[in-house]
């Protein structure tokens, strides 16, 4: 970890890239007002758990290589080998995509399948209560 600056009296702390970085080997930034992004994780075992909401809002990727490959496939410079080599670097490298990709993030705690089966999940971010209060207020 290193202090890269200060925001008032609070230090801005940053972890260097590498295999032990909490965000894994790669992160995918996209414009949003919440500082949310997609990222790898060194804790791949978390994907085998039933409850996987261990981040602070960012989205862990089980297969970041596959997302990188998909996003870069139209650029002939980025072969599988080149992407893999990039992802094991110890220094930071920024790649700007040639194409803009829309990103839609949704949060559902219940849904119905085509056969009418209804499914429910735990509301780990406590949004349902807030939504219900707005929907059913007098």
Instruction: Please give the full DSSP string across 24-84, using - where no structure is assigned.
Output: TT-EE----TT---EE--S-GGGGGSS----SSS-EE-S-HHHHHHHHHTTSTT--HHHHH
pLDDT at residue 4 in the model: 86
Q: Which two tokens stand for residue 58?
A: 């960012």
66 CB neighbour count, 10 Å cutoff:
11
Half-sphere exposure of 23 (CA within 13 A, CB side): 19
Q: Active site includes 119?
A: no
Q: Active site includes 56?
A: no
Q: Which two tokens stand for residue 32?
A: 């949003």
pLDDT at residue 15 in the model: 84
pLDDT per residue of the chain (138 residues) written in tens, 0 to 9: 788 889 999 998 888 887 778 778 888 999 988 888 898 876 666 656 666 666 666 888 889 999 999 999 877 789 999 999 988 888 888 898 888 899 998 889 999 999 999 999 889 888 899 989 999 987
Please identify which of the residues 39, 56, 119, 127 carries the catalytic annotation: 39
């Amino acid at each position: 970890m290193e202090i890269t600056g200060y925001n008032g009296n609070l230090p801005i702390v940053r972890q260097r890239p590498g295999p032990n970085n909490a965000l894994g080997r790669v992160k995918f930034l996209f414009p949003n007002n919440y500082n949310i992004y997609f990222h790898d994780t060194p804790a791949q075992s978390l994907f085998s758990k039933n409850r996987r909401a261990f981040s602070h809002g960012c989205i862990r990727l089980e297969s970041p290589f596959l997302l990188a490959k998909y996003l870069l496939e139209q650029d002939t410079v980025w072969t599988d080998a080149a992407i893999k080599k990039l992802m094991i670097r110890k220094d930071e490298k920024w790649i700007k995509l040639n194409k803009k990709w829309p990103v839609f993030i949704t949060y559902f705690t219940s849904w119905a399948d085509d056969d009418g089966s209804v499914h429910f999940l735990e509301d780990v971010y406590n949004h349902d209560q807030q939504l219900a209060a707005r929907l059913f207020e007098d």
